[in-house]
Amino acid sequence: MHNDTTRTTKLRDSRDDRPRRRVLGLAVLLLTLGAGYAAAQRGVVDAVAALADEGDVEVEESMRRPTIAQIMAQIDEVAARHQVPPRLVAAVIAVESEFNPRAVSRRGARGLMQLMPATAANLDVEDSFDTRKNIEGGVRHLRVLMDRYHNDLPLVLAAYNAGDTAVVNYRGVPPYRETRQYVVRVLRRFDRAAARAAAQRIYGSGPARPGPSYPRTRLAVIQVYGPMPSEIESTSETTVVATAPPSLPPLGAQGP
């Protein structure tokens, strides 16, 4: 009897605890979901903040990038100081980097005038992405080449593109396709007449010349009546001698 009473009391107590356990489980679930939601929101906020920072960096960088008008003003100032035609400098920049101060080639050339790291070091250019320093170094390099090649612009531009060694070794514009096209492209932007002259100088003009002609042996036919000469003097022409056919009797004549 006592055992039955105890069992009944425990069963009643367990039934009374069910609502509490459900409430407790629901509270734990809410806490778990809330923590996950908070973490997700924090991640979204961080991502948005990172994008905003990147956007600010891009906007700031675009604001610092000079316009073409500002670059042209720097070209005029630096070129005048080194006595290099500003139009020539602008033509080199247009072909080299299309006026992009952040341009980097596959070979590692940098900036507006595409200075290689070794060239930039020789010209004391510490930051090739700085427009003024890049223009200063590139114009100084052009001035040196113009003095070295006596203002022969095809050679100057060939040396700027392929290096001094190639121009010296080939004693002119190297037979590199890239270098030849580079010379003509830059000169076309600088002076079309100079570009045409350079193209004619590099590639030649007009149809290909025929090879040396050899004298043909002429055939002269001499008809000789009478006995064949015992000796015919040799000449530069081949002579074919033919004798006259024997005379035939008239038609209807009888033989002896």
Q: Which residues are catalytic?
A: 96
**Interatomic CA distance for residues 63 and 72, integer angstroms:** 17
240 membership: H or E segment, kind and range: strand 238-243
Rounded-to-integer distance, Cα 70 and Cα 63, Å: 13
**Distance between CA atoms of 92 and 69, rounded to whole angstroms?**
16
Return d(Cα 204, Cα 182) in angstroms, integer: 17
Beta bridge partners of 224: 243
- Residue 66 has φ and ψ, to the nearest 5°, of -70, 155
Backbone angles phi, psi at 92, to 5 degrees: -65, -45
The answer to whether residues 51 and 57 touch, using CB atoms and an 8 Å cutoff, is: no
User: Rounded distance, CA 223 to CA 239, Å?
Assistant: 11
Q: Are 86 and 80 in contact (CB under 8 A)?
A: yes
